[in-house]
Structure 1
Amino acid sequence: MNLSARYTELSRLADLGEEVEAAWSSVSDRAGSYRVLPDGRCDIILRFDAGRRPIAEVTVVVTGPTTRFYDVPIEPGMGFVGIRLRPGCFETVLGFEPADLANANLVGPDAFAACPDLETLCAPARDENELVARLTAFVRRRVADSSSKPAPMARVVISAFHASGGRLRIGDVANMHAISERTVQRIVFGATGLAPKTFAAILRFHRALRLLQDHRLSPADAALEAGFSDQAHMSRVFRRMGGFSPARLPDVTLVSLHD
């Protein structure tokens, strides 16, 4: 794996609405590959040639929820801007359920077939800022016109999993909110396209990565703090979800995840 893209979250965009977790951009500086880690989210991405002004060709990519890593081949000057949707808001914005796109992406015509309105994002643009503004306006328009709204309990249930770093069991979340385990399963699956156990495992994976990368904990201490049964358990999850060992972390991007 060769990290050759600069990922930046665009914090200057404060008014993204509740449906959007983050807007971001990335430009590759050399040929290589970019490793995408599972995060329990779906993104709408615009791919373009960052070396051309104005931007003449734009490709739409919609990413579904994934359960393991995958590598994206990139070339020098390849640019991306994206909107990361909050769990529970995918269907509101795009009109179909995230489970329909589990472990898959839609690119170009396939994305238009699933959501024809996405084609409006592909007009030429002056620069990257115009593409970001276009994406943001697209989400706002789709939300305003949508008859599908997030389940009332979705934000609360997803927040509980986040607050615990994925360590709460389904039964614990159900008891906290006086609902059945079956209801928790239905809510999480509808919001993320993933089973609650899988979603929680992804959150534990990200928490452990943060503990190792940002807080410099040892693998044994990170495994304990993140809620794994032991270091060997954490290592197996890291190999499956990230393709690497917690003892030898590659240069990977950790996105910001919010409840």
Structure 2
Amino acid sequence: MDYRETPPPPSLDGFVAAIWTLDVGGAPGDSVEHQAVPDGCIELIRRHTGRSLWRSEQPSLFVTGLALRPAALRFSGDARFTGIRLWPWGWHALGGDRCADFADDWRAVAEDSPLAALLTDDGAQLPGLIAAFSGHAQSPIDAIRHVDSVGALALGSGLAPRRLQRIFARETGMAPRSYLRLLRFREAVAGVQSDAPGLADTAAASGYADQAHMTREFRALGGLSPGTARRRAAGPFVPAPDEPPPDG
């Protein structure tokens, strides 16, 4: 599996988390199982070739909602994808459906939708994305990506706790603390795949009380251990192992 991720330019910061490609790299007759773990984002995805299934057969253009638990995926070996990873408020700025209405699920996107034009077959996503978000103000809750507590978000944004609760309910369908938990897990997943010296250091850098706390969250949100993510994950995708790996 060849997974590649490109960070957005500064003009898209606060709307787009990443642009990514995935090439399963097998034969058309192969059936490859993967697991995708939560990352606090909405995924607008075009499948260029092959087949993909998550609970049911997916069309060539679809969007996945906020994941609250791992998703069991199946791809044909020749499947190839391009995806745009959007912050929930970025998704809503594009006129997308309410996040609360399709958490842990996916929806088809019509080919004549303005969203379809953002995922072209030639891979030139940036001009269309920049144009789509031109003139949109950043959400006041985007600062949650840079704080370690809801209290810090309230202080930095100047918004009262009840106001924050209402905005998060509208933008994510969950409480600020619950969404912050997803972001902490997202940071930890990236950390264990990096060159960080040890899992204890990653736990501390991600805001967990200790390594044991991080391990519990990995199992609760990702269905795997940090050690498994370190060995097997590519971005948010984890190949299904032939046999259970040792814990880590």
Query: How would you bin the TM-score normalised by the shorter chain?
Result: 0.7 to 0.9
Q: 1:45 to 1:229 in 2, by over 3 A?
A: same
The CA deviation string for residues 83-124 of structure 1, in whole angstroms up to 9 with x for no partner, is 2223312122134222222111113xxx34xx9626966xxx
Q: Give yes or no for the alignment of 1:253 onto 2:227.
A: no
Q: How does 1:136-155 map to 2 (within 5 A)?
A: 154=139
SS at match of 1:117: coil
Does structure 2 conserve the Cα–Cα contact (< 8 Å) formed by 1:40 and 1:199?
A: yes
Correspondence for 1:28: 24
Q: Distance in 2 between matches of 1:22 and 1:223?
A: 23
Between the two proteins, the alignment pairs up a number of residues equal to 222
Does structure 2 conserve the Cα–Cα contact (< 8 Å) formed by 1:220 and 1:230?
A: yes
**Structure 1: gaps (5+ residues):** 51-57
Percent identity at matched positions?
25
Q: Which amino acid aligns with 1:65?
A: L
Q: Give yes or no for the alignment of 1:189 onto 2:169.
A: yes
Q: Which amino acid aligns with 2:215?
A: S
Q: Which amino acid aligns with 1:117?
A: S
Does structure 2 conserve the Cα–Cα contact (< 8 Å) formed by 1:62 and 1:105?
A: yes
Q: How does 1:59-70 map to 2 (within 5 A)?
A: 59-70=60-71
SS at match of 2:94: helix
Q: How does 1:1-259 map to 2 (within 5 A)?
A: 5-10=1-6, 17=12, 19-30=15-26, 31-49=31-49, 59-107=60-108, 111-112=109-110, 117=113, 128-129=121-122, 132-133=123-124, 154=139, 156-159=140-143, 161-164=144-147, 167-168=148-149, 170-249=150-229, 250-254=231-235
Q: Distance in 1 between matches of 2:170 and 2:218?
A: 26
Q: 1:23 to 1:219 in 2, by over 3 A?
A: closer
Q: Distance in 2 between matches of 1:119 and 1:175?
A: 35
Q: Distance in 2 between matches of 1:17 and 1:75?
A: 32
The CA deviation string for residues 10-62 of structure 1, in whole angstroms up to 9 with x for no partner, is 46x85974543332211111331232121111121111326xxxxxxx71111
Q: Which amino acid aligns with 2:82?
A: V
Alpha-carbon RMSD: 3.3
SS at match of 1:102: coil
- CA displacement at 1:239 relative to structure 2: 0.6
Q: 1:217 to 1:14 in 2, by over 3 A?
A: closer
Q: Distance in 2 between matches of 1:162 and 1:119?
A: 25
If each structure's helix is expressed as a fraction of its own residues, which one has the higher value? 1
Q: Which amino acid aligns with 2:79?
A: M
Q: Which amino acid aligns with 2:64?
A: T
